[in-house]
Structure 1
Amino acid sequence: MNKISIIFHHIFRYIWNGLFVISYPVLATFGLLFVGVTYVFSALSKLLTRLRPESNETEEVYDGSWKILPNTNNLIEAKVHKQIMFGPACFQLRRKDGVPSVLEDHIFGGKVKFIEEGVLLEKWRTTDSKDLPDFDICLYDPDSDKLNALTNIKCFDWHLSEREENELMFKWFDGTQGGEVKVAL
């Protein structure tokens, strides 16, 4: 190299090193602030989670024993049949009073909703994870021990949105699209 290029090389090297020495504390401070802000928001999130009231709507049973299913007025017991990886569990159901029931012949999801006419349950058609979600929303009448299929839904995110005289309106959302299903009782 000639002398001029060596001089320019040394000048630019000193400028580059100077920029690095000046900017390093700024970059390190930014990194520390970022970690600190993340820690503060994490602590705030934990605090707010503890302040949230307990909800009885979605309790899940995961051990192998029979337990009373939440929101069933001590009528139905559940036992885990299968836990879908990265998904919900399916249950075997039976009546707590010991009466043989049509419930024992099927596999159900964890959503249970009491209405005047009976109990809304999701009866799974299959437990094979590649075919899920595929289930019927059924109305179980505990007095006559009948299970009446109301509609078929192919997503886990559904709820009873409206109720009119003899009709129920279910809303569902599968992550990309949603819909409504109106069924007659």
Structure 2
Amino acid sequence: MNKLSILFHHIFRYIWNGIFIISYPVLATFGLLFVGVTYVFSALSKLLTKIRPNADKVPQVLKSSWEILPNTHDFLEAKVYKQIMFGPACFQLRRKDGVPSVLEDHIFGGKVRFIDEGILLEKWNALDSKDLPDFDICLYDPDYDKLTALTNIKCFDWHLSEREENKLHFKWFDGTQGGEVKVAL
């Protein structure tokens, strides 16, 4: 290297070191402030969850004993049958009033929707994780203890989107594509 390039190299190195020495306290202070603000918001979040009333909590059936299934108006009881790793749980269902039912012969998901004609349930057709998701959306008529399969859905994310006179519209999304299924009652 010639003397001029060595001189520029040393000047540039001193300028770069000076910029780093001057900006380091600013960067360190920003890092400490960021960690402090994160800690304060975490503590505030913990405090707010303790203050929230228990009535707003949505109960989940996670034990291996019979418990009232949430969102069923105290009509159905559920017992965890199997928990899919990194996925939903499936349940055995029975009526709370003690009447023997066709529900006891099948395994269901946790989605329950009440409509005028009965109760929409997610009946699982397979329990092996490589075969999932594979369910039938069924209509349970509690008056006649009748379970009617309406349609087959191959994804966990589905919902009742619309209802016409005697038709139900289900929408589903499997992570890459979605669709809609219309079912006549």
Q: Please tell me the TM-score bracket, short chain as reference.
A: 0.7 to 0.9
Q: Tell me how far 1:13 sits from its aligned partner.
A: 4.6
* In 2: Cα distance, 1:105 partner to 1:9 partner: 81
* In 1: Cα distance, 2:71 partner to 2:41 partner: 34
**Structure 2 portions without partners, runs of 5+:** none
The worse-fitting range, judged by mean Cα deviation, of 2-11 and 94-103 is 2-11
Aligned ranges for residues 1-185 of structure 1 at < 5 Å?
A: 11-39=11-39, 42=42, 54=56, 56=58, 59-185=59-185
The answer as to whether partners of 1:60 and 1:110 remain within 8 angstroms in 2 is: no
Instruction: Work out the percentage of aligned pairs sharing the same amino acid.
Output: 83
**Structure 1 portions without partners, runs of 5+:** none
- Relative to 1, partners in 2 of residues 1:181 and 1:5: Cα closer, same or farther, differing over 3 Å? closer
* In 2: Cα distance, 1:137 partner to 1:5 partner: 77
Secondary structure at 2:31 match in 1: helix
Letter aligned with residue 71 of structure 1 = N
Q: Tell me how far 1:116 sits from its aligned partner.
A: 1.2
Scaled by the length of structure 1, what TM-score is found? Answer: 0.83
* CA-to-aligned-CA distance 1:53-80 (integer Å, 9 cap, x gap): 8265xx4200000011122232211000
Secondary structure at 1:86 match in 2: coil
The worse-fitting range, judged by mean Cα deviation, of 2-11 and 119-128 is 2-11
- Relative to 1, partners in 2 of residues 1:179 and 1:4: Cα closer, same or farther, differing over 3 Å? closer
* In 1: Cα distance, 2:57 partner to 2:137 partner: 23
The worse-fitting range, judged by mean Cα deviation, of 111-120 and 46-55 is 46-55
Q: Tell me how far 1:131 sits from its aligned partner.
A: 1.4
Q: Tell me how far 1:44 sits from its aligned partner.
A: 6.5
Letter aligned with residue 17 of structure 1 = N
The answer as to whether partners of 1:120 and 1:137 remain within 8 angstroms in 2 is: yes
- Relative to 1, partners in 2 of residues 1:103 and 1:7: Cα closer, same or farther, differing over 3 Å? same
The answer as to whether partners of 1:114 and 1:120 remain within 8 angstroms in 2 is: yes
Give the length in aligned residue pairs.
Answer: 183
Secondary structure at 2:168 match in 1: strand
CA RMSD of aligned residues (A): 2.8
* CA-to-aligned-CA distance 1:31-60 (integer Å, 9 cap, x gap): 23333444455567667777698265xx42
* In 1: Cα distance, 2:3 partner to 2:118 partner: 94
* CA-to-aligned-CA distance 1:81-132 (integer Å, 9 cap, x gap): 0011111110001112222211111100001111111110000011111111
* In 2: Cα distance, 1:42 partner to 1:179 partner: 39
Scaled by the length of structure 2, what TM-score is found? Answer: 0.83
Secondary structure at 1:129 match in 2: coil
